[in-house]
Copies of this chain bind each other. A is one copy, B any other.
């Protein structure tokens, strides 16, 4: 039996937690997880509540209507999900395949149960054998400076045809147009190979090497129109020292990227992320 998940953000006010938990309890729902967060400075309240539908007195497709009055009362932004819904996902990749491999291995191992991977899209043919190896459809959409608009149009058509709800940029080295980004708000997750906001843009490992930092990092974030500026979901770091070449940084960084992207994707699929302005609340 599936669970229902409510993600809520609204102006902070007394009684929201009590009202929402009571809403579930009165309809015989068994609350499995409830987490809330108050941003006192901004006067905002955030909540994630998950309950079992077993014995819940409201049919699944009537829950939204049932909840709406309460949501209206507290001026909530809210979304209702069900734990057995799979998210139709496309993975974009260029020539570095470690994140792609990692996601596909974890997917097969059952670590991404909410993910329905509908295809791998790349501007290069390199990932084709990997896709075949894992039995996922591969679509090559070459991107040249002069064909970029057309290429992106084709990508977006593919996404629409497949009903894609989540785009993972697993080291995809093309900048998406604002129009593309606007079509998937908080639905495109990118892995950037630096500890943002340090080393935005191209070749962050080379930038880190030049700067002489003693720690490198990786950052997963939702994509917005501004390059590498979207809400950060997860970051991690690793120690380096003067002996490490740029190539060493690349290799060590890949181990960070894998895990940092995976966590972001997983939390997104588990409906654990709320955006507030350009920041995230992650109820991990």
Within A221-259, the residues touching B (CB, 8 Å) are 231-237, 239, 241-243, 245, 251, 255, 259
- Nearest to A215 among chain B residues (CB) is B235
| A:152-187 near B, CB below 8 Å | none
Chain B nearest CB, measured from A249 CB (Å): 13
Does residue A83 face the partner (Cβ distance < 8 Å to B)?
Answer: no
Within the complex, which residue of B29, B199, B232, B281 is in contact with A211, where a contact is CB–CB below 8 Å?
B232
A14–B55 Cα distance when bound, in Å, is 11
Q: 9 A-B Cβ contacts within 8 A?
A: A14-B30, A15-B25, A17-B25, A34-B34, A34-B36, A98-B109, A111-B251, A241-B282, A242-B281
A residues sitting closer than 8 Å to B (CB atoms) are: 14-15, 17-19, 21-22, 24-26, 28-32, 34-41, 97-98, 101, 105, 109, 111, 133, 195-199, 211-215, 217, 231-237, 239, 241-243, 245, 251, 255, 259, 278-282, 284
- Give me the 8 closest cross-chain CB pairs, A-B, nearest first: A212-B279, A18-B25, A18-B21, A198-B198, A214-B235, A242-B281, A15-B25, A215-B235
